[in-house]
Amino acid sequence: MTAAPTLAARLRADETVVTAWSTLAVPILAELLGRAGYRAVTLDMQHGAHDIASVRDGITATRLSGAHAVVRPPVDDFATVSRAFDLGAEAVIMPMVNSVEDALALVGATKYPPIGTRSWGPHRAAMLQGMTPPDYLASANAETVALAMIETPAAVEALDEILAVDGLDGIFVGPGDLSLTLSDGKAVTPSSETVQAMAADIAARTRAAGKFAGAFCNTAEDARAARDMGFRFIAHGVEMSLLLDAAAAKLAELD
């Protein structure tokens, strides 16, 4: 039996991976998203209700469905980056990476020496992957994916320097915050022409640097456009909205 490809392997192969967004901190919901066909499920600790216990169980539940488990830690919480990997996450999406220093801290928490400073303790991750700890160590730096969220003008300004950070695997565009910060707090317009044009430029520069490009998408149109722009890791579908929409549609069947 050949092992299923890792998320990193899929991204290296330029495969498009669509991730669901899990906010409700209910592990079985993450599993259901994987069973529904999502290739990856992102457990959100920044704006979602996930804590370390639901991330621990959510990663296991996601893997049980065959999907790749991804975690978004809270802002500046680099300790949680290492913990997410120790618990078996394949990628971390770090919010508000606005400088080279932030990117270095992300890489530090993601990669073992000599690239980073991640401390040793991946026992749950190794177990979930059916690996011995030495095998885990041998492949960890290649298979743990650090994605830096680019979602402010400062981050866009520093993009080339951020992309030059050794060990940073890629970026992930947050169009909501990008629109909020670009408008100086006046509006959240993630699908606007300005934000979408900026996203296209970020994707091109990221791919030119040989790194993975990901983006959060608020509509199907944005998700399709993101794919055309060269993004390959695409967030499309937040479980809370999916549930609301499905429930409303179900009720409407009897109208």
Residues whose CB is less than 8 angstroms from the CB of residue 223 and which lie 6 or more positions away in sequence, other chains included: 18, 217, 234, 236
Q: Is 47 a catalytic residue?
A: yes
Site string for Mg ion, 167-206 (x = CB under 5 A): -------x--x-----------------------------
In the numeric block, the tokens 């700890």 are attached to 133
Nearest distance from C-beta of residue 178 to ligand 3PY, angstroms: 7
Of 78, 212, 216, 231, the residue at the interface with ligand 3PY (CB under 6 A) is 216
Would you say 101 and 124 are in contact if contact means Cβ atoms under 8 Å apart? Answer: no
Q: Report the distance separating Cα 61 and Cα 54, nearest Å.
A: 10
Residues 149-168 that bind ligand 3PY (CB under 6 A): 151
The answer to whether 50 and 27 are in contact (CB under 8 A) is no
Q: Which region, judged by CB under 6 A, interacts with ligand 3PY, from 8-16, 102-110, 153-161, 170-178?
A: 170-178
Window 106-145: contact mask with Mg ion (x via CB under 5 A)? ----------------------------------------
How far apart CA 142 and CA 144 sit, in angstroms, is 6
- Return the residue of 175, 181, 199, 233 that touches ligand 3PY, per CB under 6 A: 175
| Count, residues in the chain | 255
Longest CA–CA span in the chain (Å) reads 62
Site membership for ligand 3PY, residue 190 (CB under 6 A): yes
Task: Identify any residues that bridge with 147 across adjacent strands, giving them in sequence order.
Answer: 93, 170
Chain residues binding Mg ion by CB under 5 A are: 151, 174, 177
Task: Enumerate the active-site residues.
Answer: 47
